[in-house]
Amino acid sequence: MTPTLFVGNYNYSSWSLRPWLCLAWAEIAFAERFVDLDQAGYGGDGIAELKAISPTAKVPVLEIDGTRIWDSVAIAEWAAETSGQLLPSAPVERALVRSAVAEMHSGFAALRRDLPMNIRRRCRAHGLPADTLRDLDRLSTLWDWGRNRFGDRGPYLFGQRSLADAFYLPVAARLRTYAVALASDQAERYGAMLLEDEAFQIWEARVLAEPVRAFAQVPLDAVYPGTDLA
């Protein structure tokens, strides 16, 4: 049976976007179910609609023949294993891709706190604290390293497209939203290239089709007050 991916709001849900890109890039047929995250329980004791779907009351969730996979990395890995794509063939290089994915999944806490994904919005971040600037430095170094080491194999972080590109594409969208520059020009170019991705353009078109409204449960649009929502 066709697997079903449960996703959250296109503008905000970076954890939904990542496995969605992996499934799309791996050309795996899947159905989708949208769950509006702007409901009571968000970020607290959980949205009732999500509690019925996921043990953690979070999206993304991928339902495969009645079994639910409840984490973005697990879904991304499933896409890679099922398709034989999105991971290099050499074990040590697979481990490098996984290091980059894991670093995103478990790290960059300050960057995520101060620069939340908001694909539609354009404003300027100001007064970023030291820990966020450190995250941005690390991001620049990582992207620069990947492009230096694997650039002769293609335009992606590890040359050929991999799970890592899906995990960092939402970060590229954040840099664009908040007009944040990276120290490395090469890293900047990589981020800009990610945003040209064909599958991401489909996701972005959905963002633009969503009604513009503040997210009521958490004031995500108020991180930099005084700037427009649109």
Binding site for ligand GSH (CB under 6 A): 8, 13-16, 37, 42-43, 46-47, 57-60, 71-72, 105
Helix or strand holding residue 64 (H, E): strand 61-64
Write down the least CB distance from residue 64 to ligand GSH, Å: 16
Tokens of 59: 């999206």
Q: In terms of CB distance, is 53 or 87 closer to ligand GSH?
A: 53
Pick the closer one to ligand GSH by CB: 25 or 167.
167
Q: Which of 97, 223, 230, 225 is nearest to 158 (CA)?
A: 97
Nearest one of 101, 11, 15 to 60, comparing CA atoms: 15
* Structural tokens at position 183: 């120290």
Shortest distance (Å) from residue 215 CB to ligand GSH: 11
Q: Which is nearer to ligand GSH, 80 or 182 (CB)?
A: 80
Distance from C-alpha of 198 to C-alpha of 184, rounded to nearest angstrom: 25
User: At its nearest, how many Å lie between ligand GSH and the CB of residue 217?
Assistant: 8
Q: How far is the CB of 3 from ligand GSH (least distance, A)?
A: 16
- Measured from the CB of residue 42, what is the shortest distance to ligand GSH in angstroms? 4
- Select 47 or 187, whichever has its Cβ closest to ligand GSH: 47
Q: Which is nearer to ligand GSH, 172 or 187 (CB)?
A: 172
SS3 for 223?
coil
| C-beta of residue 60 within 8 angstroms of C-beta of residue 75 | yes
Task: Give the C-alpha separation, 150 to 64, whole Å.
Answer: 34
